[in-house]
Amino acid sequence: MRARFKRRLIAGAMLLTAAPLVRAAEHVTLANGFELDCVRREVEGDHVRLYLSAASDSNYIEVKTSAVLRVETLPDPPAPPPAAAALTPAANLTPTKSELQEMLARAGEAHRIDADLLASVVHAESGGQVRAVSRTGARGLMQLMPGTAAVLGVNDSFVPEQNIAGGAKYLDQLLTRYKDNIALALAAYNAGPGAVDRYHGVPPYRETRAYVARVIREFNRRKTMVADVASR
């Protein structure tokens, strides 16, 4: 299971590095039912070029102007949470490094998720701060929204073991939903499944794409460290 996730994650990291982290400007629906996002359009006679990337003028498709059924301006992406979540005053429940690793290992084993992947999500979500609270109200190590936490059976998101168990359960549900596509599962964890389903992939939100790349990069870093230690 761990090796399978590692292969998928490395491939995903390469894909995200190549993709421009910019918001697509328009959503285009063609008369044949095909839909796509483009960063700009250029009309040439009775044809229109739909540019798919702001980084390359050669990345486009060309269709007849009459084939374009509808063009919609895409909504602005949701406001990103603060880079460093605020802390609320409370008793010190911060686990030691070894305790945190044990919690992650138990949750990973329960849900067949690599503990290093869970650790990478914790790193991206809260920086390991047990009492972290985002501007939108997400709480704890894996930044669970109160409603989501309740559905997951988490009574107190500030209790590390409960938060990790809930976050791992939610990520497990997303991995199942997206057939173990780790990039889509992480995107849904950040932006919600609705956004992933709407765009049929990682949404064109800067914050979400940066988040997915950040988690994958951290996961690969951890695996590289493990491999280096094992080779000595």
Residue 54 pLDDT > 90: no
Whether the model clears a pTM of 0.75, i.e. scores above it, the answer is: no
Q: DSSP label at 66?
A: G
Active-site amino acid positions: 125
pLDDT band per the 50, 70, 90 thresholds, residue 53: low
**Domain range annotation of the chain:** 2-20+77-231, 26-73
What's the CATH fold of domain 2-20+77-231? Lysozyme (1.10.530)
Average per-residue pLDDT for the chain? 80
Q: Is the pLDDT confidence value at 87 over 70? A: no
- 197 CB contacts (<8 Å, ≥6 apart)? none
CB 80 within 8 A of CB 207: yes
pLDDT value for 202? 92
Q: Of 51-60, 62-71, 73-82, 102-111, where does the model show the most confidence?
A: 102-111
pLDDT digits (tens, 9 = 90+) for 105-131: 999 999 999 999 999 999 999 999 999
How far is it, in rounded angstroms, from Cα 51 to Cα 227?
41
- Residue 28, H or E segment: strand 26-30
State the Cα angle at 182 between 228 and 154, rounded to 5°.
Answer: 100
For the chain, give the percent of residues with pLDDT over 70. 74
Question: Is residue 185 within 8 Å of residue 193, measured between CB atoms?
Answer: no
**pLDDT digits 0-9 by tens, 184-232:** 999 999 999 999 999 999 999 999 999 999 999 999 999 888 777 666 6
Sign of the alpha-carbon dihedral angle for 146, 190, 171, 176 = positive
Per-residue confidence (pLDDT) for residue 227, from 0 to 100 = 72
